[in-house]
Structure 1
Amino acid sequence: MSKVTNYISEAFEELRTNVTWPEWADVQKYTVVVAVFSVVFALATAGVDKLFEEGLAAIFTVLK
């Protein structure tokens, strides 16, 4: 159990001393970029899904 405690302690120490954290303004800017990209990607995926749905429906209508 002491190995686990030691590992966690060393991990937190490394995060505190060796990691370069971004500035708060950068974090906010990147969060907005990720949110906008996620919405655009979701809309593009929904559009392609709708296109395939209507295309397959048309194919099945012709084959009926």
Structure 2
Amino acid sequence: MNKIISYIRESYNELVHKVSWPTSQELSSSTVVVMVASLVMAVVVFAIDTSFEWIVSNFYKIIFI
């Protein structure tokens, strides 16, 4: 039980005194970067999915018609 309490105290001490937290401006800019990167990846995945759908549907049209 002492190990668990010691672990919690050390974790708290590290989070409060040793971790350098980002400023509000750094956090905002990082959030914008993540949102833009997510949007770009979503568009890329959508384009690939749409392309494969078109390729497969045309392939099946050629084979089965």
Query: Normalization by structure 2: what TM-score?
Result: 0.87
The Cα shift of 1:19 comes to 1.3
Partner residue in 2 for 1:38 = 38
Amino acid at match of 2:58: A
Query: Normalization by structure 1: what TM-score?
Result: 0.88
Structure 2: state its 5+ residue gaps: none
Structure 1: state its 5+ residue gaps: none
Instruction: Determine the C-alpha separation between the residues in 1 that align with 2:15 and 2:37.
Output: 29
Task: Indicate the RMSD between aligned Cα atoms, in angstroms.
Answer: 1.1
Instruction: Determine the C-alpha separation between the residues in 1 that align with 2:2 and 2:54.
Output: 61
Partner residue in 1 for 2:21 = 21
Partner residue in 1 for 2:7 = 7
Identity, % of aligned positions: 33
CA deviation string 1:14-39 (max 9, x = no partner): 11111111111000111011011101
Instruction: Determine the C-alpha separation between the residues in 2 that align with 1:23 and 1:6.
Output: 30
Instruction: Determine the C-alpha separation between the residues in 2 that align with 1:15 and 1:28.
Output: 21
Partner residue in 2 for 1:62 = 62
